[in-house]
């Protein structure tokens, strides 16, 4: 397959799904909100924080919004595999296309290099989830620094975009 033969099905999940089927947002937005809220509340319970309802109410909207921002950063990192372009006629170009571009976009489990690429994108996203929550979203809470870090870390671990690993090939 030549590089010019790449079709729309090679775009990254789930962003392409949200674009192609906009009604998906009706499910994705509230589902993300519920997951973020559950992680915040359960982590606060685990840390035995007082006034969980008040504290969660104070931060949840920002946690939710910044979670999407972090997901888009991770998606951009995923999409970089498609933007880095080597001449397909060269050995490096064919290797890149087969092991990175096509594998990351269509089925990351086809290549260990694609799994590593996707893993790095998940880690980048988790890092930004942690950073945004720790530096911005949890700032107004009357908690000590250690508790804020634990909540931010919990959000980073439990809300990282593990769906990046889902092969697009399952849908085509």
Query: Within a domain: residue 2?
Result: no
Query: Within a domain: residue 29?
Result: yes
For residues 51 and 41, the answer to whether their CB atoms sit within 8 Å is: no
**How far is the C-alpha of 163 from the C-alpha of 62, rounded, in Å?**
22
Query: Within a domain: residue 1?
Result: no
pLDDT in tens, 41-98: 999 999 999 999 999 999 999 999 999 999 999 999 999 998 988 888 899 999 999 9
Using a pLDDT cut of 70, give the percent of the chain over it: 87
Query: Within a domain: residue 3?
Result: no
pLDDT in tens, 104-143: 988 999 999 999 999 999 999 999 999 999 999 999 999 9
Query: Within a domain: residue 161?
Result: yes
Number of domains in the chain: 1
The gap from C-alpha 146 to its chain's centroid, in whole angstroms, comes to 25
Query: Within a domain: residue 125?
Result: yes
Residue-averaged pLDDT of the chain: 88
| DSSP 8-state symbol, 137 | I
Burial of 83: CB neighbours in 10 Å, binned 0-12, 13-18, 19+ = exposed
pLDDT in tens, 35-44: 999 999 999 9
Query: Within a domain: residue 39?
Result: yes
Q: What pLDDT is attached to residue 20? A: 62
Domain span holding position 41: 9-171
Q: What pLDDT is attached to residue 120? A: 98
**How far is the C-alpha of 11 from the C-alpha of 132, rounded, in Å?**
27
């Amino acid at each position: 397959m030549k590089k010019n033969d790449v079709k729309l099905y090679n775009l990254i999940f789930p962003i392409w799904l949200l674009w192609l089927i906009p009604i998906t947002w009706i499910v994705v937005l509230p589902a993300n909100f519920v997951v973020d809220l559950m992680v915040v509340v359960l982590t606060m319970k685990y840390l035995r924080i007082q006034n969980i309802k008040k504290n969660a109410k104070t931060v949840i909207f920002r946690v939710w919004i910044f979670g999407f921002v972090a997901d888009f950063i991770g998606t951009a990192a995923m999409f970089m595999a498609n933007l880095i372009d080597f001449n397909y006629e060269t050995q490096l170009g064919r290797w890149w296309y087969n092991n990175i571009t096509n594998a990351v976009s269509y089925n990351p489990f086809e290549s260990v290099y694609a799994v590593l690429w996707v893993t790095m994108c998940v880690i980048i996203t988790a890092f930004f989830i942690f950073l945004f929550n720790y530096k911005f979203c949890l700032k107004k809470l009357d908690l000590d620094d250690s508790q804020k870090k634990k909540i931010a870390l919990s959000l980073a671990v439990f809300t990282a975009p593990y769906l990046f690993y889902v092969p697009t090939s399952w849908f085509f």
